[in-house]
Amino acid sequence: MTPAWAVLRVLLVVIRPRGWRLTGFRLVTADKHYTTTYGDKSLEHGSTYNRVRIQVELERSDPTAFWKLTTPLYLAVLIATSTFLVSSHREELATAERLEGLHSRLGVLGGGLFVVVLNMQQADTVITSAVGLTLIDRLHLTTLVFLLLAVAGTVLSWRWTTRGGSIVRAERVSHRGAWAGLAAYALACGGLVLLAAWR
């Protein structure tokens, strides 16, 4: 048995992280240059030593973990989008009732932001990656941007209508913005997933 396979066996039997499957293993040698001579006066410009790196490739053993972590995001986006699609420009609704609808929309969007932040913290405990942004992190950030833009759109619509702007026009813009935002969100998330799959 080669030393590489011995190390692999130790990884498989002893270390084996829960919820992960080992899919690849490599030992890579490389020279590392240090600026210090470590007290060796025969060296003038630092020292170079060999080093061995162990590269381990892991894959989630449970493919549903991704869906468990991202389903709340997609539901928050769908619920937020639906608040823009509810029509309230019927003639019998007074301006106060229409503005109350905008306040309700802000409440739903605030709840969506809360759900995404809590889910992001839950994902951090499940994934435990301290280096860089993971796919799950990027999806959460994309969702937060979507919801913050929805809040900004709601506030702008509210200001427009309280200053005498056309409520019908504000709702028309809200409807179109909701569909455009949902399409952009779906494309962004799909692009992030495809990009992560090809890496």
pLDDT tens by residue, 125-156: 777 766 778 888 999 999 999 999 999 988 88
Is residue 73 predicted with pLDDT exceeding 90? yes
174 pLDDT more than 70: yes
**Weakest-pLDDT range from 51-65, 80-94, 144-158, 184-198:** 80-94
Check residue 77 and give its pLDDT: 93
pLDDT at 186: 96
Q: Which one, of 102, 100, 192, 89, lies nearest residue 145 by Cα? A: 192
Residue 194 or 129, more confident: 194
The residue ranking higher by pLDDT, 87 or 184, is 184
Higher pLDDT, 89 or 6: 6
Architecture of domain 64-198: Up-down Bundle (1.20)
pLDDT tens for residues 11-32?
A: 666 666 667 777 777 778 888 8
Cα→Cα distances 2→8, 9, 15, Å: 10, 11, 19
The first and second tokens of residue 4, run together, are 């590489």
Mean of pLDDT values over 105-131: 83
Query: CB within 8 A of 174, min separation 6: which ones?
Result: 84, 153, 154, 157
Domain ranges across the chain: 3-60, 64-198
pLDDT > 70? residue 99: no
Q: Residue 93: what residue type?
A: L
Distance CA(94)–CA(110), nearest Å, equals 25
Is pLDDT at 91 greater than 60 in this prediction? no
Q: How confident is residue 92, by pLDDT bands cut at 50, 70 and 90?
A: very low
Given this model, what pLDDT does residue 14 score? 62
